[in-house]
């Protein structure tokens, strides 16, 4: 509700960055509440605005978030393309929080496809980045992803080890 009020107000201004940011944040809320069609509408509009003003970080977040929606919808190739493009932009800007999060979604995609080496690689890379930059939430999320991975491949002791690390963080 507050995002929609903000968006209405921001549409009357020239502040494109704030409007696009409010749109992407509202899209995040829809995503968290599994309203993927609404999330996509907001993400697409924010992406258009960020591209219009050549705001690369915003464009990267939009691409990554659209990729997350595609991932949960089972549109794996679209998800991989969007998330990979987002990660490439974010690496240039050293935005490791978002990179770590998007890497876990890439791990999910490959896990679902039973591409064990790729899934493990993305999850490990996410954890390494999170540890290097002391990103506690991302360390927790990456450990959980590795726990799920090892559970899927039938290694319960490894799964438990990463799950304990997830809980610790």
Give the pLDDT confidence of 120-143 residue by residue, as tens digits.
999 999 999 999 999 999 999 999
Residue 94 three-state SS: coil
Rounded distance, CA 30 to CA 36, Å?
7
Banded pLDDT at 60 (limits 50, 70, 90)? very high
Asked whether the predicted pLDDT for residue 1 surpasses 90, the reply is no
Asked whether the predicted pLDDT for residue 31 surpasses 90, the reply is yes
b/e sequence 141-161, b meaning 16+ C-beta within 10 Å: bbbbbbbbbbeeeeeeeebee
Rounded distance, CA 120 to CA 144, Å?
12
> How many Cβ atoms from other residues are within 10 Å of residue 42's Cβ?
25
Percent of residues, the chain, with pLDDT higher than 70: 100
Banded pLDDT at 12 (limits 50, 70, 90)? very high
Output the average pLDDT for the chain. 97
Tell me the C-alpha to C-alpha distance, in Å, between residue 77 and each of 17, 69, 82, 83, 152: 29, 12, 9, 10, 22
């Amino acid at each position: 509700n507050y995002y929609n009020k903000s968006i209405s107000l921001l549409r009357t201004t020239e502040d494109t960055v704030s409007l696009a940011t409010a749109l992407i944040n509202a899209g995040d809320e829809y995503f968290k509440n599994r309203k993927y069609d609404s999330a996509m509408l907001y993400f697409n509009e924010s992406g258009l605005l960020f591209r219009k003003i050549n705001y690369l970080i915003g464009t990267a977040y939009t691409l990554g978030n659209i990729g997350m929606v595609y991932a949960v919808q089972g549109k794996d190739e679209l998800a991989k393309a969007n998330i990979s493009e987002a990660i490439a932009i974010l690496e240039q800007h050293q935005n490791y929080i978002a990179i770590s999060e998007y890497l876990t979604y890439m791990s999910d995609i490959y896990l679902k496809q039973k591409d064990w080496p790729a899934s493990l690689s993305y999850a490990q890379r996410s954890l390494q980045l999170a540890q290097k930059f002391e990103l506690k939430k991302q360390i927790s999320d990456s450990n959980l992803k590795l726990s799920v991975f090892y559970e899927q491949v039938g290694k319960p002791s490894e799964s438990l080890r990463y799950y304990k690390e997830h809980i610790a963080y």
